[in-house]
Amino acid sequence: MRSAGDSHRGKVRRTNEDSLIVEPRMGLYAVLDGMGGANAGDVASQLARDTIRDFVMHRQHTLAPAALLEAAIVAGSTAVFTEAQNKTDRHGMGTTVVACLVVDPAHIVVCHVGDSRAYLLREGRLQAVTRDHTIVAELVERGLLTSEEAERHPYKNVLSRNLGAKAEARVDTVMLEVKPGDRLLLCSDGLYGFASAEAIQYLLGSGDDPKDVARDLIELALRGGGGDNVSTIVIETAPAAPSSSQVVRTSGARTWWQHRRHFLDAASEGGLADNPIVSGLPPHEALELVALSLCQAIYHDLEKSTGVNVWTFAQNLASGWFQRGGEWEAIRGLVDILAASAHAVVAEIRGADPALGFLIDVAVSRALIVVELALGGLLAERLRQVDADLVELYTIELDTTMHDATSSGSHDAMVIAEPSASDASREPAARDSAGTITALTSRESLATIDAPALRESMSTFTSLTAPEAAATIAELDASDSDAGTTTAMERISFDDPEPDREPPPSEPVAARDARPTPPPPPPRAMPPPVPARAAPPPVPARVGARNLSADAAAHAASGGGLRPLVRTADTERVERFSELSIERATIPFLRPDRPVTNAGEPAEVLSAIAQVMILARGRISPRARLLEQVLAALDNVASDSAGNFAAAVLAARELYGVRSVDNVGVMPLFDALDQARILVAASVHQLRAPQLLRVRVLRALSTAHQRLVGATTGLVLEAVAPFSDRLRESQGLTGELRDAVAKAERRRAHLERRFATIVDSSLPWGTRGTTEW
Amino acid sequence: MTTVPTLARSYEALCPKVMQRLLELRGTLDPSLGRLDEATARTQIGAVLDHLGNFLATGDVGLQRGFLHTFLAMRAAEAQSPAATLAMLVAIGDTAAQVAQEEVAGGELTLLLTRVTASTARAVNDLIAEELGRRAAQRNEITQRRGAR
């Protein structure tokens, strides 16, 4: 058990009328606050002090501890009363007392008279052990005054009991059961009258030596005004085993800081000065700016059990670098060097003190996680910004491309209308225009386009409004169903920007090639994105598409010779469209190593796909409606001979229509997609068909599934865009709050530096020098 | 001889407690995770815990990267930003380390889990940075192409 006491006359009083008893051998401690008359207060407290101490010393083994202490205090009162009666100049003198006697390591008896107090600090919480003997306090106890009234009462400091007022004093006694780590504080009113309970609790719980705490408490009262004599005694029971966090905060932080030179050396050897982030700085300056700053940030975070300093360090470092256009690799390399330096320091500490080194190892590893978290936040924010730019750019790009396609589409269609144009002359023309979507506009390739689906898809991304798109689709469908054999040229002329223009005369291929390409139209302003829910309902576009395919097949069978051209143009179109909207989609983390291409499937494959679907449907429960819908969607996408992404978008929209991120989430939909993939793959194996055909069917279905999943993911992202905006706003607010917290932390650190009583110059900003480790 | 298999076994024995703690805390770990019912949340957290166990046992960085790639994509499909996903992964790893500190003597498992979490955070950042690089290149390419026109 450790103990210490201290006393000060304060900033106002000329004399110190307080007295202390600090007798660890006897286990006796007391604070006495004298009062009354010139020089009489100190006489009263000293007289009572001596009497109590002598009484306990001589009768320690004759009475029980509580009775002994009570009797000693009564004897002290008698002595003071007698002295006051005998000498007129000391008439009215008296003293308060709060005293304790250690019975055994687990028990302490506390007695008091007057307004000197005893506090117990247990597990960081401060509890009052005594109750003041003042008139106001007794009125409050009887219910005659409220606590608020007592605070303002003019007689709040008038004692109802003291030693010396009567020959015998009435003593209050408390038997305390103490635990390891408890601290008992005895003090006069000069402390609690000029210091808050929170500040007393903070100092008492600092873990410092009792001697330092006793002195710091007096300093606290003096800073609070020091209007009275102030006395403190701190008694600490057997210390409890420190928790790991306490060890890290105290000796861990200090040990880390003591190894800062090693950290800097390791960073220097690791090549920190060569990193592009600090290029241009002298090596020593680079080390100080980066390595020492991180070392200091880790020290402060270890001491405070926070991560705010390391977070701020990493964020400042990386945001500055990113704003200068820097790359991730440089940050990554720098953090690697710093992490390696930290681990080198930790290894050295573990060699000297394995237990402490282990705790520091865990704490430093966590600090490095905080660094990664801060960097991840910045990277994610940059990714979001780039994504937003890409969406805008793609929208304008698709808009422009569509305009080009429709303009030159009508023109070429009119050229092809000339029956004398030979296959041989048209093929080079199509090849020459490869790389642009205008190559699609030969009659045969148009015949393979799933025009309604393509139009619907484009309307989602370009400037067509939803009603316009719906009108377009309705008209196309009407023409499909009415004419049945409507030519592709007629379908495309629907979109001709100049529908009344007369077809130009045919011209030689060479002349056509030499014709300058018309300049692209200026990009239109980016239209507002079409919400998934507001889009027109999907239409049964399959009939038209099949008819067009049939036209193409019939034409190929009768005329022959054009199929290679059809395939080439078709493939170019698909590649072009895929380049724009699939392989470079804005879906995060879409693997780039999985190109999605499908140039349409022959009839035998389509027939086999239909059989596979029948097999798959037969294997699911009638109640699995979502799975059945997914299979139907998969069938549509896989059978899409046009081979573009539009069918997948339509199917995904239909599926997504019944799901919402606000309701049960989209995971059931993705689960169903996964189950459908497994079902279909198993069904392909059951198909009675040549191996080659089964392979083609499986490939077609896999491609379709991939498209469907991609389209569904895109819809989900589109739907959550508003939430992303809100999230961004929240992130902004969080950032502001974090800055405010960091500012408050800095302010707190500044205040602690300012009010630290002893500065240890070996530490970065000083701390109390005799901290108990 | 490495002690990792022993620690991996300790981790496996600890997993139910970690799972229980995470289920109790899931609302504070991640708002979207907090909205899920217990069975679904158990599935998602279980995947991360399984990954942690696999990584403890094998140390296979390729597997770790593959898992994180898929996990990021799945969370992105649920409108979770990469930063929030990273925070969730770290919170799960941190909770596992905390439970290990409370339940397992010696502390080596705590240290190992902390380091695995740091490695996970780094891997996630690498993935985000790669994605960022790809998209920035696309943006530059499109911008240049438009400028050329």
- In this predicted structure, the answer to whether residue A408 has a pLDDT above a threshold of 70 is no
Does the pLDDT at position B53 exceed 90?
no
pLDDT given at position A401: 67
Mean pLDDT of A467-479: 46
Mean pLDDT of chain B: 84
Helical H segments across A690-720, by residue range = 691-719
Interface touch B111/A373, C-beta < 8 Å: no
What integer pLDDT is reported at residue A406 of this predicted model? Answer: 61
- Report how far residue A440's alpha carbon sits from residue A574's, in angstroms, rounded to the nearest whole number: 10
- Residues on chain A touching B41 (C-beta within 8 angstroms): none
Tokens of B84: 């929030």
Give the nearest partner residue to B118 out of A368, A384, A665, using CB atoms: A368
The two structure tokens encoding residue A461: 């991304």
What's the CATH number of domain A2-236, 3.40.50.300, 3.30.1330.40, 3.10.20.310, 3.60.40.10?
A: 3.60.40.10
Strands of A117-164, DSSP E: 117-122, 125-128
Convert the pLDDT of each residue in A485-520 to its tens digit. 333 333 333 333 344 444 444 443 333 443 444 444
Q: How far, in Å, CA of A309 to CA of B146, rounded?
A: 44
d(CA B147, CA B149): 5
Average pLDDT over residues A16-45: 87
State the residue range of the domain holding B52.
4-148
- A153-162, A207-216, A524-533: least confidently modelled range: A524-533
Q: Does pLDDT of A422 surpass 70? A: no
| Type of residue numbered A289 | L
Query: Does the pLDDT value for residue A45 go beyond 50?
Result: yes
Least confidently predicted of A44-48, A72-76, B30-34: B30-34
Residues A109, A66: Cα–Cα separation, whole Å:
6
- CB pair distance less than 8 Å for A379 and B132: yes
Q: Are B34 and B28 in contact (CB under 8 A)?
A: yes
Distance from CA of A365 to the nearest CA of B (A): 6
Contacts of B122 in chain A (CB under 8 A): 372
CB contact under 8 A, B114 and A366: yes
Check residue A227 and give its pLDDT.
85
pLDDT of residue A145: 80
pLDDT digits (tens, 9 = 90+) for A254-306: 889 989 999 999 999 999 888 998 888 888 888 888 999 999 999 988 887 77
**Cα dist. A384→A196, A377, A380, A484, A678 in Å?**
49, 11, 6, 47, 34
pLDDT at A686 over 60: yes
Of these ranges, A64-73, A197-206, A457-466, the one predicted with the greatest mean pLDDT is: A64-73
pLDDT digits (tens, 9 = 90+) for A97-138: 999 999 988 899 999 999 999 999 887 778 889 988 888 888
Chain A residues in contact with B79 by the CB 8 A cut-off are 661, 716-717, 719-720, 723-724
Of A149 and A111, the one with more pLDDT: A111
Is the pLDDT at A609 greater than 60? The verdict is yes
Give the model's pLDDT for residue A512: 40
pLDDT value at residue A657: 67
| Chain B interface includes A521 (CB < 8 A) | no
Half-sphere exposure of A668 toward its Cβ, with a 13 Å CA cutoff? 15
**CB-defined contacts A:B, below 8 A:** 134
**Predicted pLDDT of residue A8:** 93
Among the ranges given (A388-397, A506-515, A725-734), the one the predictor scored with the smallest mean pLDDT: A506-515
CB–CB of A723 and B86 under 8 A? no
Looking at residue A586, what is its pLDDT? 37
| Model pLDDT for residues B77-86, shown as the tens digit of each residue | 777 788 888 9
- For residue B102, give the chain A residue with the closest CA: A244
pLDDT value for A541: 34
The DSSP line for A40-57 is: HHHHHHHHHHHHHHHHHH
Q: Residue A5: which pLDDT band, with cuts at 50, 70 and 90?
A: very high
Q: How confident is the model at residue B32, as a pLDDT?
A: 63
pLDDT attached to residue B38: 83
Q: Is B110 within 8 Å of chain A by CB? A: yes
In whole angstroms, what is the distance from residue A432 CA to residue A442 CA?
13
Residue B75 has pLDDT above 60, yes or no: yes
> Total structural domains in chain B?
1
Which pLDDT tens digit goes with each residue over A619-656?
A: 887 777 888 888 988 888 887 755 556 677 777 877 77
Angle at alpha carbon of residue A674, lines to A668 and A676, rounded to 5°: 100
pLDDT at A572: 56
Please report residues of A whose CB lies closer than 8 A to that of B73: 588-590
Query: What pLDDT, on the 0 to 100 scale, is given for residue A545?
Result: 34
How far is residue A42's CA from residue A95's CA, in Å, rounded to a whole number? 9
A361 touches chain B (CB under 8 A): yes
Question: What is the reported pLDDT for A52?
Answer: 94
For chain A, the structural domain boundaries read 2-236, 248-386, 417-505+541-581
pLDDT at residue A683 greater than cutoff 70: yes
Q: Rounded to a whole number, what is the distance in Å from the CA of A374 to chain B's nearest CA?
A: 9
pLDDT of A444 > 50? The answer is no
**Are the Cβ atoms of A666 and B134 closer than 8 angstroms?**
no
| Range in A54-58, A506-510, A612-616 with the lowest mean pLDDT | A506-510
Give tens-digit pLDDT for B81-128. Answer: 888 889 889 989 988 998 998 888 778 889 999 999 999 999 999 999
- Quick check: A222 pLDDT over 80? yes
A376/B76 CB distance under 8 A: no
For residue A643, what are the CA distances in angstroms to A158, A454, A646?
A: 97, 10, 9
What pLDDT sits at residue A734?
A: 83
Q: Which residue among A362, A387, A394 places its CB closest to the CB of B111?
A: A362
Quote the percentage of chain A above a pLDDT of 70: 68
pLDDT score at A86: 86
**A127 three-state secondary structure:** strand
Q: Per-residue pLDDT for B142 more than 80? A: yes
In sign, the C-alpha dihedral spanning A283, A285, A290, A295 is positive
Identify which has the larger pLDDT, B55 or A487: B55
Provide mean pLDDT across the span B51-64: 85
Q: Binning pLDDT at 50, 70 and 90, where does residue A560 land? A: very low
Rounded to a whole number of angstroms, the distance between the first and last alpha carbons of chain B is 64
Report chain B residues whose CB lies below 8 A from the CB of A327. Answer: 133
In the structure encoding, which two tokens stand for residue A163, read together? 């030693």
Distance between CA atoms of A713 and A670, rounded to whole angstroms? Answer: 9
Chain A environment of B126 (Cβ under 8 Å): 328, 332
Chain A contact for B87 (CB, 8 A cutoff): yes
Determine the Cα–Cα distance for residues A641 and A601; give it in Å rounded to an integer. Answer: 6
- Which chain B residues contact residue A396 at CB under 8 A? 146
| Chain A residue numbers touching B36 (CB-CB < 8 A) | 665
Q: What is the pLDDT of residue A67?
A: 92
Q: What percent of chain B has pLDDT over 70?
A: 92
Write the residue in B73, B111, B121 that is nearest to A589 by C-beta.
B73
Which residues of A fall within a CB distance of 8 Å from B148?
none
Quote the minimal CA–CA distance from B31 to chain A in Å. Answer: 12
Q: What is the pLDDT of residues A297-355, one digit of tens each?
A: 999 888 877 788 898 899 888 988 888 888 899 999 999 999 999 999 999 999 988 88
Q: Is pLDDT above 80 for A450?
A: no
Task: Give the tens place of pLDDT for each residue, A341-371.
Answer: 999 999 999 998 888 888 889 999 999 999 9
For residue B64, give how far its alpha carbon lies from the nearest alpha carbon of chain A (Å).
16
Exposure string of A651-665, with b = 16+ CB inside 10 Å and e = fewer, is: bbbebbeebebeeeb
Overall average pLDDT of the B7-32 stretch: 83
CB A176 within 8 A of CB A119: no
C-alpha atoms less than 13 angstroms from C-alpha of B100 in its C-beta half-sphere: 24
Higher pLDDT, A487 or A198: A198
pLDDT(A188) > 50? yes
Where is pLDDT greater, at A94 or A576?
A94
For A295, B72, B146, the CA distances from A309, given in Å and listed in that order, are 10, 28, 44
Average pLDDT over all residues of chain A:
72
Q: Which residue is listed with tokens 């407290």?
A: A45
A389, B139: Cβ pair inside 8 Å? yes
Query: B83 and A380 in contact by Cβ < 8 A?
Result: yes
Which pLDDT value is given to residue A46? Answer: 92
Instruction: Say how far residue A39 (Cα) sits from the centre of its chain.
Output: 65
Write out chain A residues lying below 8 Å of B69, CB-based: 589, 591
Closest CA to A325 of B86, B132, B121, B144: B132
More confident residue, A234 or B103: A234
